[in-house]
Amino acid sequence: MPASATVTRRPRTKPDARPRALKDTGTKEAIASAHAIGVINPFALAEVKNGRKINWKGAGDPRLVLERILGMPYEKLFDPKHKSPLYPGLTVGAGQKVTVKETPKHGVGAFAAEAVGGMIWADLGEFFEFGADVNDAVQGAVGDCYLIAALASVAWSRPYVIAAKMLELDTRGHAADRIDLRLNGTWKTFQVSEAVPALSPGNLFIYARSSQTGEVWPAIFEKAYAQYRANTTSDEPDYSKLAYGDPVAATVQLTGLTGTYYSTPAITADVIWDTVRANSISNKTFNPMVAWTYSTAPTGVNYNTAHIVANHAYSILGWTYVNGSKYLVLRNPWGNTEATLNALGGTWTPFDLSYYGGPAQPHPFTLPTVDGVFAIRADTFKAYYAGFGVAK
């Protein structure tokens, strides 16, 4: 268990009482399954390997493009048992036990960038364009989906946490952003410039980026987290240290809240859905929630046909109830690749809480669309996801 993640344990309840999510065995299983979550965004890695940005909508079948550039059949990309390039240094043994070996310095993305041009450090935009939004944070070519899913969940549930804090001068005498993380019960400040790894030529983001052109806040938070993971104050931290982590711990570190883990095999689909509802208002989570899949597909699960990714973290955005079925709404931090098994279509309209005064506003999503947001039945979530968690 990461030292920085605090786990809430409630008194044991009677056999028929709810929630049952915090049984000791279930909680320990969830913590264990969350500790090494990570997979590279294949679309980001393909662009870096290609040496330029790809127009995915105009490139024909994206699956064929990924196969050609990444050198593996599409149906084998999303599970480490096939030795996919999206899981560098990760092996899965018996009982879903994960082993992680050292990855190339600065990460696979930087290694790929050097092959086609070179990696530079460049200032690629302003901290905010319109403030933090759930769809802003998009993962890049390193396996830190646990962090990007946490960033998106915080931007969705507690947007005021994502704030630009500019320091006039850092310890090097340069202008820097201040990012605070709660580590081992204490807030620690990280100072980073807005120069981030980019592909030369072209200034293509290698790692986290925003879906908003000219905005860089996800990249700045990721850079500060890379400083933390690499245990350095360098303004050019080693991004390979970001690979694989715990999405609940990351959410706790971003917010200073207390993390609670839930093991999906230990509880029913109804309890899972009820737990998400208990952390929501108007169908929308008001406490940041994250989820993660199994390290490799267990018996009876086919991640490829479901369009769900193994050893991957997702944001939980809320819930809905349609035609007698219970659904959970999630977001893939890649900003695409939505689940299709028992998925809901149509419009989902939660209401944003008013953090700054005024009435709550509707926030409609079209399901499915290419933004990573989707809704799946609670029983499907239980079968395909290993665990989930909340910070509150």
CA distance 147 to 41: 13
Stretch among 127-131, 142-146, 171-175 having the lowest mean pLDDT: 171-175
At residue 256, the pLDDT reads 96
- Higher pLDDT: 16 or 108? It is 108
Residues 6 or more apart whose CB falls under 8 angstroms from that of 209 comprise: 138, 140, 216, 218, 219
- Helices 24-34 and 247-255 cross at an angle (nearest 10°) of 90
Helices (H), 298-361: 303-306
As a whole number, the mean pLDDT across the chain is 88
361 φ, ψ (degrees, to nearest 5): -115, 140
Residue with tokens 């593996």: 72
Taking residue 65's Cβ as centre, other Cβ atoms within 10 Å add up to: 18
Pairing between β-strand 373-377 and β-strand 325-331 as defined by DSSP bridges: antiparallel
CA distance 269 to 280: 17
Number of helices and strands (H, E) in the chain? 10, 21
pLDDT by residue (tens digit) across 322-359? 999 999 999 999 999 999 999 999 999 998 765 545 56
Contact criterion met (CB below 8 Å) for 264 and 301:
no
Summarize the confidence of residues 63-70 as an average pLDDT: 95
Q: How open is the CA angle 360-364-369, to the nearest 5 degrees?
A: 155
170 φ, ψ (degrees, to nearest 5): -95, -170
Question: What percentage of residues in the chain have a pLDDT greater than 70?
Answer: 90
pLDDT by residue (tens digit) across 297-324? 999 999 999 999 999 999 999 999 999 9
CA distance 319 to 98: 31
The residues facing 120 across adjacent strands are 198
At residue 171, the pLDDT reads 67
pLDDT by residue (tens digit) across 124-143? 999 987 788 899 999 999 99
Domains of the chain plus CATH, in order, are 24-37+257-391 (3.90.70.10), 42-248 (no CATH)
pTM above 0.95, yes or no: no
CA distance 375 to 338: 9
At residue 165, the pLDDT reads 81
If 0-12 CB within 10 Å is exposed, 13-18 middle and 19+ buried, where does residue 12 land? Answer: exposed
CA distance 146 to 313: 5
Stretch among 18-32, 80-94, 162-176 having the lowest mean pLDDT: 18-32
Quote the DSSP letter at residue 11.
P
- Higher pLDDT: 276 or 57? It is 276
Can you tell me whether residue 328 is helix, strand or coil? Answer: strand
In this predicted structure, the answer to whether residue 10 has a pLDDT above a threshold of 90 is: no
Which pLDDT band holds residue 26 (cuts at 50, 70, 90)?
low
Residue with tokens 């933090």: 132
